[in-house]
A and B are shown apart, each in its own frame.
Chain A
Amino acid sequence: MLVTSALVACLIGFITFQRIYHDEVQASTQAVRQLAATVKNTVSIAAYLQDQQLAREVADGLLGNDIVQGVAVHSDNRLLVDAGVTEWDADYQAECLSLSSPFVVEERVGSLCLYPSRSYFEQRATQRARSQISVMLEFGVVLMLLLMTVMHRLFSQPIKLLSRHLHSFTLNNPQPLVVPKFHQGDEIGALFEDSNKLLGSVAEAFKRERALRQEMEQLENQFRHIFEQASSGIAILDLQGAPKVLNPSFESMIGAEAVAGICAGTMAFEELAVNRDELARAVVHAAHTRDVVNTDIELALGPRQGAWVHLAMSRVDEADGDCYLEVLSYDVSERREREAQFRLEAEHDPLTGVLNRRAGVRRIETLLQDIQATGRQCAIFMLDLDRFKPLNDAFGHDAGDHALVWVVERLRKVTRGGDIIVRWGGDEFLLAVELPHGMEDADQLAGRILQSFEQPLTLADGQRASLGASIGIAMSPQHGSELPMLIQYADQAMYAAKIAQGNQRCFFQLVADN
């Protein structure tokens, strides 16, 4: 800007000088002409009379003017006066005037040449140009200063103010900008107001965002707290079953070793369970469906090895496409134990520990169906104790109970694990036994039972007693496949045995033959 101004100033100065110089030349020429016109009459007379003295006087008078440098007066080609002409600059034009006779106008008597002073009007032109340019410059400088002041006041200052405000603006303590007094309603004012609006909305958004973030953090803390403090174990797995996050309860449940193992990938998740295939299936099921998959596992390792844990697994699909499995675990050992206890109590005879009648029927029916489906054979034994009532009467109920326990001990000894022993009535027992060789095996088994009863029974007070048993046997599928019928047949056979003095076994078939 400064360079441009200087260039423009130089150009304007040059043009001004040229113009002034030209004007000055014009003015000087004009002045010289006027001077010439003024002295024309006198010079004419001098030329007419060839009066050198008169011409000299006039020339001296003319030379008294700064503007005239030289004067030459000729009379009929004779030089009358020649003053200051020698130093004349040849390339500058002299003002020459033809002189006519004062009396006969047509008669030319000589000439007057005036040589304008070039240095004079150059100097004048320079002076004028200088003063004009200096006035222009002063005016320009003043105008520029004024303009700069106004610009500064109107634009630079408020924008600087705005910039300073924006620089010191903080979101924590948003202060609205004050619109400068002079700019209310104009563009600068609008700029301030818009900035205020923008900053306000930014601050507002920031505040909202921060509140939201705090809320989120709080929520996250709460969730984390819940996650970490939950008594139930929580595990987040990917869809392949690899753990992402385990909460402390889960970790303490499975133990540090297992945590290290499954987190390092050296151990599969399903290896936590004894029934690992079931767990693996449950994981796959949960990973590929939207079902909540519930399964109980028995922990295979860790501090709580052998404990039963209920797992509720469900797939969670996040909005961003992330999927994982959420596993909630509850220790259900106690419940299972209680359930088992309940079941035991519900299905077993509290005294002897064998199945009660209802549970027994159910179990045997299952066995019968199984046998029927596979073409095997089984025998139903109805066993009634001989001489139990007299013992009971003679030694009391405790002795009777003792005797019943003793009986069951015998039966258990001679039967196998899979055989079903049911307390059918007071001193009646029902046995269901799978036998590969049918009646032959049944007969042998009955024989072994009876044989085991031959050993005397020692009561609590040291007294001895003896018990016998009558056994009725019905065979399936030889005698049928319906349990009520088979029981009835076995019962009939048992009566037959009882009638035949007891302590023996009878097959239903035999009874029927009789």
Chain B
Amino acid sequence: MNRCRLLLIALLLGSPLCWGGGDIVVVVNPHNPVPALSRGEVIDLYMGRLRQFPDGQGVAPVDYVAELPIKTAFYYQLTRRSLAQINAYWARLLFNGSARPPLQAESARDVIKAVATDRAAIGYIYANEVTDSVKVVARLTADP
């Protein structure tokens, strides 16, 4: 019992570090003129603070449904917040009715597809999943 719990804690704590080689990259439509995005800009885009890219293009962030490991890792690396905290943030704003959380995709493939087809879209995937149909504008390294 104790061993199981220890294992669980280790898994939970270590999970973001488990994907050591797997950096997360933020991708946009290749036609999007934005060359790169800072970490702060990525946060602001995903947390609803920025509604458009620096060039004035409207933005449509794409997220994942449910608690996929990449989602947890993404938000942790970006904001040092747990997913629960992020969900609470959105819950507060949704109740208030003043914000709109990102769209939710099923998988990386869905994300790539959404980004590749929508010029305003922005998404995130593991670096090794990048295709030519998307443009990497930011990279979140696994190391804090």
Contact = CB atoms under 8 A, between A and B. Distances in A.
A374 to B, nearest CB: 176
B40 A49 contact: no
Contacts of B99: 49, 51
B98 interface: yes
Contact of A104 (B40, B92, B98): B40
Contacts, number: 37
Contacts of B40: 104, 107
Contacts of A102: 47, 89
A262 interface: no
Given A54-B96, A54-B98, A104-B43, A49 B49 contact: yes
Interface in A62-109: 101-104, 107
B48 interface: yes
Question: Which of B47, B49, B92, B99 is the most central at the interface, judged by chain A CB atoms within 10 Å of its CB?
Answer: B49
B49 A48 contact: yes
A50 B79 CA distance: 19
B31 interface: no
B81 A103 contact: yes
A466 interface: no
Nearest to B47: A103
Interface string A192-228: 0000000000000000000000000000000000000
B81 A49 contact: no
A53 interface: yes
A45 to B, nearest CB: 7
A288 to B, nearest CB: 141
Nearest to B96: A54
Contacts of B92: 42, 45
A366 to B, nearest CB: 174
Interface string B76-101: 00111100000001001100111100
Given A48-B49, A104-B43, A53 B96 contact: yes
Contact of B43 (A45, A53, A103): A103
A49 B43 contact: no
Interface string B57-87: 0000000000000000000001111000000
Interface in A113-134: none
A49 B45 CA distance: 11
B58 to A, nearest CB: 17
Contacts of A398: none
Contacts of A103: 43, 47, 78-81
A104 B42 CA distance: 12
Contact of A53 (B80, B81, B89, B98): B98
Contacts of A42: 92
A53 B93 CA distance: 10
A23 interface: no
A57 interface: yes
A107 B41 CA distance: 12
Interface string B32-45: 00000000100100
Interface of B: 40, 43, 47-49, 78-81, 89, 92-93, 96-99
Interface of A: 42, 45, 48-51, 53-54, 57, 101-104, 107
Given A49-B93, A57-B96, A104-B43, 5 more contacts: A49-B49, A51-B98, A101-B43, A102-B47, A103-B79
